Amino acid sequence: MANVTVIGAQWGDEGKGKIVDWLASRADAVVRFQGGHNAGHTLVVGDQTYKLSLLPSGIVTGTLSLIGNGVVLDPWHLKEEIAKLEGQGVVINTSNFAIADNCPLILPIHRELDGLREAAAGSGKIGTTGRGIGPAYEDKVGRRAIRVCDLAHLDDLDSQFDRLCAHHDALRAGFGQPPVDRAKLIADLKEIAPSVLQFAEPVWKRLNTVKKAGARILFEGAQGVLLDVDHGTYPFVTSSNTVSGTAASGSGLGPSATGFVLGIVKAYTTRVGAGPFPTELEDATGQRLGERGHEFGTVTGRKRRCGWFDAVLVRQSCAISGVTGIALTKVDVLDGMETVKICTGYRLNGKVLDYFPSHAADQANVEPIYEEMEGWSGTTAGARSWADLPAQAIKYIQRVQELIETPVALVSTSPEREDTILVRDPFVD
């Protein structure tokens, strides 16, 4: 039996929550390996809807759920999210949940800095969630971070707080803000520490034990490959690596453990916030996609920009992340459209490109080349086998996998867990 790594192959919001939930019910452990509580996953189980942004999706099914060292953790948000889920009847304890003790913390000063920067950026705004993710990662690589394990030693961290406050005080002064209230920060951390430390442990060790026992591990990514800090639409990206390779470094297991890489791909394209979007539709068709797809961010509530499926971007994402197979979601949103289009290439300065260029100006100026296909009048919603799909919908799916050069492993036809067509089982590689 194979392990599975799940990543988004577009700009996030591809429907990872439903797919991860479906896979988590068959896994022995689920681990988040990057990002923070800027990731929004919506799970629909029966008549209950769960909205997660930090906790691994496996927590809803009672599967062992782990937060790896590659995640930046807001302890106050963690406490709130746990309380909310427990209020919905989800059991969370040390037997089914653990946090890597070397996770960096997101502090109030990170959230403040995030907001100050965006407010001052004017037309240069990146469109962050304002939750302090970027500044927390900056402090991690700058070796100033306060980590989960530090919560047990807050009275012995004078030198770490000296480095942290010296850096942030200079930044805050530039924005006309007072220095960090160090005493309050330490007091707040002491207050929240017990809520986090009860779950803290060397997650790498737990994962290695699980691996040696032959258990199935599901690595849960956040955001999407096009938001990767190296491979995404820089600078309109997140502050971590979202590609599948991060599952190894962000969890404490070697790269051989990542197994089948499942890329989640929406049957059209959406994006939240600023940045290039070659196939964006600012017309009635784009509005229809947004309305039918209920395209609002799980975390931010922001309306998503919508457009046709971009095979160039997805093919690039699949290559960069070594995707074994894709899970195609929200095909039902295209039901009833007379024609559908797929972007197969770009024109830029008189040249035809079969890839998305790296420079922001080139990304903003590419013109999509479309292939048009006949739509379908029947419904795909709730389909659980190929026989349930309209013939033209099957042709669309087949054309998508041809263009992205990656086979379809799953097709999701509604938010319900069981409304899934299984083509290839990721756990049986």
319 three-state secondary structure = helix
329 has which bridge partners? 266
Q: What is the dihedral of CA 376, 378, 380, 381, to 10 degrees?
A: 130
Contacts of 259 (CB under 8 A, 6+ apart): 2, 3, 4, 5, 217, 426, 429
Residue 160, token pair as written in the block: 């770490």
Contact 32, 68 (CB under 8 A): yes
Alpha carbon distance 303, 297 (integer Å): 6
Alpha carbon distance 171, 59 (integer Å): 38
Alpha carbon distance 356, 217 (integer Å): 33
Determine which one of 21, 28, 37, 41 is catalytic: 41
Q: Indicate if 41 belongs to the active site.
A: yes
Contacts of 424 (CB under 8 A, 6+ apart): 325, 407, 409, 410
Give 147's DSSP letter: B
Q: Indicate if 167 belongs to the active site.
A: no
Taking each helix axis from N to C end, the angle separating 133-141 and 108-121, rounded to the nearest 10 degrees, works out to 110
Alpha carbon distance 70, 151 (integer Å): 18
Give 178's DSSP letter: P
Closest CA to 341 of 414, 429, 421, 403: 403
Backbone angle region of 268, left / alpha / beta, with phi > 0 → left and psi within -120 to 50 → alpha: beta
412 three-state secondary structure = strand
Alpha carbon distance 18, 28 (integer Å): 17
Pairing mode, if any, of strands 408-412 and 325-329?
parallel
Which residues does the annotation mark as catalytic? 13, 41
